[in-house]
Structure 1
Amino acid sequence: MTSQRRLISRLVKRNIKPSNVPTISIENVAEEIIGTDYNKIESFHHYFNNDNNIHRQHDHHFLKKHLFQCEISCPIQDELIKGKDCKIIDLGCGPSTFLLDLSAQHPNSRFFGVDIETTFPSEIKPKNLEFKLVDIIQGLPFPDNAFDLVHIESTLFTIPSVHVNFIISEMIRICKPNGYIEFCESIYNQKSRGIGEKFGKLLHGFELVSNLYETDMHIALNLPKMLSMIPNIKNINLEDQTIIVGKNGGKVGVIMHDILTWFKNSSEFFVNDICKQLNLTKEQYDQLIVDAFNELNVTFSEMIFRRIYVQKSGC
């Protein structure tokens, strides 16, 4: 990969504190969203970063929790509910809404989060939750057979495809025999049902930029086949939840519409790249954004969240 295509991360420490400012969220799911001071990060992983990115990541977690009616789909959820001592790691944890939610509910278990960026809380957190600054492309600094669950969510689509098999092999390595590995990614592109012309064009541009960085926007579609070819895993399970993005999807659709507003205020790098890929001027891109998001509220644009969980074979 050339230096121009190499993913660049500027590690920025953030001050995270509670906020009493009302926010759009799912009724009875999340009463408070954590507010944060933000800085732009120049990498594909945070290509779509703006001042509300952390807020959107919190909403993203509670949206999926609401859709699946649980934080985790694999059977380890039952062990947690019984109060057993489980060891769980989340790769690419970001602001760590997933881990903060789980660790507070299950004090008898231990939780670990890793990310290449310091968006996770460094001080105010449950005692059973730890974080490490890790570039997962370089491997995971944990021993073999260490975790009951290895979890990764909305991360693999930002990883250059050449590294994905290695990351999955590392996930399997640190998972205990008969433990679980769980993935969650979204399926949303210009061929999705109900996509209008304008938003379809925007998604096509994102796919072209994804190809530029050699990442796989369609990883959720390709994962089941990839996993079926790995000899030391078993019991591949897949769960899909579909929503309508925009006003026609009700409260959930409006929240997802809000989450997708990273297109509106994304980094200069993203705007420049997508304009080149779509042969647009900055003014034309701005108009496309306006038209595309207006279109979302009159169409029935379907987005699928896909959870896939597998079990590591016993040794």
Structure 2
Amino acid sequence: QHALLKYFFKGNYHAPLNKDELGSVLDVGCGAGLWMRDMALEFPLTEIHGVDAVVPTRKRLAPAMLDSMPSNCFFHKADATRGLPFPDNTFDYCRVRLVLWGYNLNSFPDLLTELVRVTKKGGWIEFVDMD
């Protein structure tokens, strides 16, 4: 799925990201972390954080996958609609892809509120989903 979407969209992101100014990134609904891994390799000086209801473990993924994660990738277990475990104004770029089907539409405003809270002023929030 990740490779197909990367090919279809011609890259991992659409926001005008600057490698020199990108300190931290958040991936909501990170799953196995494939997008995080790609971003961590492209932006080696940037911290890439991922949140999901289930954090990848050796039981869920091949050990080689977890072992190959760059050291600037960090996984966190969290429900983004109930509060993200980060201080205000933490991230330069927040990304949400293909997770809206997993949220109740009534909780969508809570998700947006949390994303705005943790995104730095001048930062980017990017949604990629289907309708």
Provide the aligned length of Structure 1 versus Structure 2. Answer: 124
Within 5 Å, which residues of 2 pair with 1:265-280?
A: none
In the alignment, structure 2 segments of 5+ residues that lack a partner are: none
Identical pairs, percent:
28
Residue number among 105, 117, 141 corresponding to 2:54 in the alignment: 117
User: Which 4+ residue blocks in structure 1 deviate beyond 4 angstroms?
Assistant: 120-123
CA contact (8 A) 1:103 1:128 kept: yes
Which is higher, the Rg of structure 1 or of structure 2? 1
Alignment TM-score, normalising by the size of structure 2: 0.87
Alignment correspondent of 2:39: 102
Are 2:11 and 1:70 aligned? yes
CA contact (8 A) 1:87 1:109 kept: yes
Q: Deviation digits for residues 223-263 of structure 1, max 9, x if unmatched?
A: xxxxxxxxxxxxxxxxxxxxxxxxxxxxxxxxxxxxxxxxx
Q: Which structure shows the bigger proportion of residues in strand conformation?
A: 2
Residue number among 81, 88, 94 corresponding to 1:137 in the alignment: 81
Alignment correspondent of 1:233: none
Using a 3 Å threshold, how does the CA distance of structure 1 residues 137 and 84 change in structure 2: closer, same or farther?
Answer: closer
Within 5 Å, which residues of 2 pair with 1:7-156?
A: 60-76=1-17, 79-80=18-19, 83-119=20-56, 123-124=66-67, 125-156=69-100
Alignment correspondent of 2:119: 175
Deviation at 1:98, TM superposition (A): 0.5
CA contact (8 A) 1:87 1:149 kept: yes
Deviation at 1:137, TM superposition (A): 2.5
Alignment TM-score, normalising by the size of structure 1: 0.38
Within 5 Å, which residues of 2 pair with 1:216-295?
A: 218=131
Q: Which structure shows the bigger proportion of residues in helix conformation?
A: 1
**Partner amino acid, structure 2, of 1:90:** D
CA RMSD of aligned residues (A): 1.7
Distance across 2 between alignment mates of 1:95 and 1:128: 15
Give secondary structure in 2 for the equivalent of 1:104.
helix
